[in-house]
Structure 1
Amino acid sequence: MKWLSIADYNQWRDVGMRGFASKGNRDPSFKGPLAGRNASFTDLMVRTGMRLTEQSVLLLTEIPMRRPDVAHAKVWITARTAKNMKGRHIYVPNSVLSSIDAYVRGERRAAVKRGTRNGLYSPDKGWFVINERNPKWVLTPSGMGRRLSSLAPVERARVLVLKDAVLQPACLWLTDKGAPMSSKTWQGIFAVANARCVRLGINLSAHPHALRHTYAVATLDKLQRGHLSTLEPQNEPYRKRYVQVFGDPLNWLRLRLGHSSADTTAIYLHTLAELDYETRLALIPDDEEWELPSEAAADFGNNEADLDYPDV
């Protein structure tokens, strides 16, 4: 199982996606398009554990506004886009929301303008259009209404929304020409980033699932530390009662990842068990760089209900 330390991920992202030089300074020769988009995409993936297909078809309307009083925003991944129809909540840190907002206001807006000029968003080209009066529904190309949550990934990539007085793709991630990004295109961007690192003599590479693994390992480590610090000074009856009420960190992570069984999630527990404490501290620093949502403890008591959240 491949995963990166937090420091290694930051360097891989900055060099491969953002176009920095190996010493951390700006590389004036870098000509990569939409570097802000690419870095926002990988930051979101490594901080939420989403699968590539799930994240590729996120809609602009599903990204909440950043609130300074809330450290993490709760986002629902619909069952139709999730593997094995396991709809679930994810938590997006405010820092990632800020990065996404900058992309939406800058690079994405410019891409939409190019797509509009080229007539890409004409409704007669087979697009679905979100109903203005009821944004949970779309109008299909045949004129029928459907729930937005019922759309498969390939259909979500064909949805338009009226924003800033113009029709534009509802998909969050767009190419420089304004078309929705595909999973295959993202895989190519990861490959280019890896090749750039190799060219600059940096022995780092990543693929989408490696970022999912990174999220899982770092998050489980943080959950375990918090869990143990709470239980350590308590007596045995209190510990048993605490686990009954607040559940199990492994199960919380299982729900965030959309696993059907805790046995699948347990691979990350085994990974941590192979590291001594000093190594874990070095790879996953105990600071605010990987802050967990405050809802984590509260959600321990509602694990199974989370799986039954309706797609509406």
Structure 2
Amino acid sequence: MQVRALTRGQWEAFRDVGMGGRLPGGGFDASFRGRFPTRDMMVADLAVTTGMRIQEWRSVLEPEFQPVAGRGATLVLHAAAKNGRRRTVYVPGSTMASIEMYRRTERRRAVMHAQEGLRRRWPGLAQVSDIDPARGRITYVLEGTRYRCGLAEVPLAHRGLLVREEDGVIEPLSLLVGPGGLAPSQRAWHETFARANQRLHAMGEGIPMMPPAVTPHDLRHTFAVVVLRSLQLRAAGLEAGRSGAGEGTLSEHVVFNPLLTLQRLMGHASPSTTMVYLRYIDDSAELVQRAFESWSDQNRDFASFVLEQMPGPEAGGRRW
């Protein structure tokens, strides 16, 4: 497996300039013709701060987000996860703020503009009759068949078709919607990434050295490398601060093992897959100092910590 982890500067350029239509200096580019810059920038946030695969984040349903008091939200992946391997994903508070901005602006407009088309397609859509977010259950009818299951168990093929009607408005359940009001396909997302890469390479000055093309999986790799680094530092800090002599219990080593923790976060079947990331970890003294300072600051959420650990050019960020 080839790992391509972005530096923070590369990721910000991809998100803001490539996906968001901004200029390298921060201003908006009047020549930009992207239809959903807020959505696309939010996707860059979501992918890099959760480590989800493209098939996972593109099929997320709005009712799946379960708020965590003051600390973002969680969602359970199962049917959309690779090989159906169930896991819980934490979505940081700052990423949820990006999601909420998208919900209130572009998503709302897209859904309202798509009402006529959604009405025509209604017979072929998965019509939701009941949702119980607290229990994570949903009931819907698709092509004459009634389904009742957990939200996480909704098949990938059904997720983008789920809609419900409230007060005469057809509302898709998919978080991410396109011009037709339904979830964009995986191919459409690859095309969105391709356009962002083309824009970056055409921009010229003011852009950091970029890989030939940033892919959805590069954002997942970035999450993995950054989180593994932070977990190693946290484990080292816990070990250094542990009272008493000895090497700790077996349960302590399992709970605080960075590779096992990252394996769970990434949904890897085998630890050997996760171990590939080890050779991309920077253990400089400066990074250790910054990491410990970040972990001790209770006023900053996990997303801020993750993004601040993304190495910049001065830290020897990886180049292609």
Shorter-chain TM-score above 0.5: yes
CA distance in 2, matches of 1:260, 1:226: 24
Is 1:221 aligned to residue 233 of structure 2? no
Q: Measured at CA, do residues 164 and 29 of structure 1 come closer, stay the same or move farther in structure 2, by a change above 3 Å?
A: farther
Match of residue 169 from structure 2: 166
Q: CA deviation at 1:30?
A: 1.8
SS of the aligned residue for 1:90 comes to strand
Cα 1:120–1:214 change in 2 (3 A) is farther
How far does residue 236 in structure 1 lie from its aligned partner after superposition?
4.7
Quote the sequence identity (%).
29
Q: State how 1:90-239 maps to structure 2 within 5 Å.
A: 90-120=89-119, 122-124=121-123, 126-132=124-130, 135-147=137-149, 148-163=151-166, 166-201=169-204, 202=207, 203-204=209-210, 205-234=213-242, 236-237=245-246, 239=248
8 Å CA contact 2:234–2:292 kept in 1: the answer is no
Deviation at 1:17, TM superposition (A): 0.8
Quote how far apart the aligned CAs of 1:230 are: 1.5
Q: Is the CA contact 1:140–1:146 (under 8 Å) kept in the aligned structure 2?
A: no
Q: Distance in 1 between matches of 2:291 and 2:215?
A: 19
8 A contact 2:61–2:175 mirrored in 1:
yes
Aligned partner of residue 239 in structure 1, secondary structure: coil
The 2-side partners of 1:240 and 1:137 are apart by 46
Under a length normalisation based on structure 2, what TM-score does the superposition of the two structures give? 0.80
Matches within 5 A, 1:1-312: 1-65=3-67, 69-78=69-78, 80-120=79-119, 122-124=121-123, 126-132=124-130, 135-147=137-149, 148-163=151-166, 166-201=169-204, 202=207, 203-204=209-210, 205-234=213-242, 236-237=245-246, 239-240=248-249, 243-244=252-253, 246-272=255-281, 275-277=282-284, 287=294, 291-292=301-302
Alpha-carbon displacement from aligned partner over 1:109-167 (angstroms, at most 9, x marks no partner): 1111111133446431x111222265522222214233254432122111113456522
Q: Which stretch of the first structure deviates more once superposed, 137-146 or 183-192?
A: 137-146
In the alignment, the residues of structure 1 paired with residue 300 and residue 269 of structure 2 have an alpha-carbon distance, to the nearest angstrom, of: 25
The residue type paired with residue 258 of structure 1 is G
Q: Which moved more, 1:218-227 or 1:201-210?
A: 201-210
Cα gap change, 1:149 to 1:138, in 2 (>3 Å): farther
Distance 1:208 1:169 in 2: 24
1:90 deviates by 0.6
Pick closer, same or farther for the CA change 1:119–1:178 going to 2, 3 Å: closer
User: TM-score under structure 1 normalisation?
Assistant: 0.82
Query: Per the alignment, do residues 133 and 112 of structure 1 end up closer, same or farther by CA in structure 2, a change over 3 Å counting?
Result: closer
Amino acid at match of 2:260: N
- Secondary structure of 1:131's counterpart equals strand
Q: 31-40 vs 176-185, which deviates more?
A: 176-185
- Which residue is equivalent to 1:307? none
RMSD after superposition: 2.7
CA distance in 2, matches of 1:164, 1:24: 40
Taking structure 1 as reference, are residues 6 and 178 closer, same or farther at Cα in structure 2, changes over 3 Å only? Answer: same
After superposition, give the CA deviation of every residue in 1:38-71 in whole Å (9 maximum; x if it has no partner). 0111110100000001111111111245x6x422
Structure 1 alignment gaps of length 5 or more: 294-312
| Count of aligned pairs | 287
Superposition deviation, residue 267 in structure 1: 1.0
Q: Contact 2:49/2:92 (CA < 8 Å) preserved in 1?
A: yes
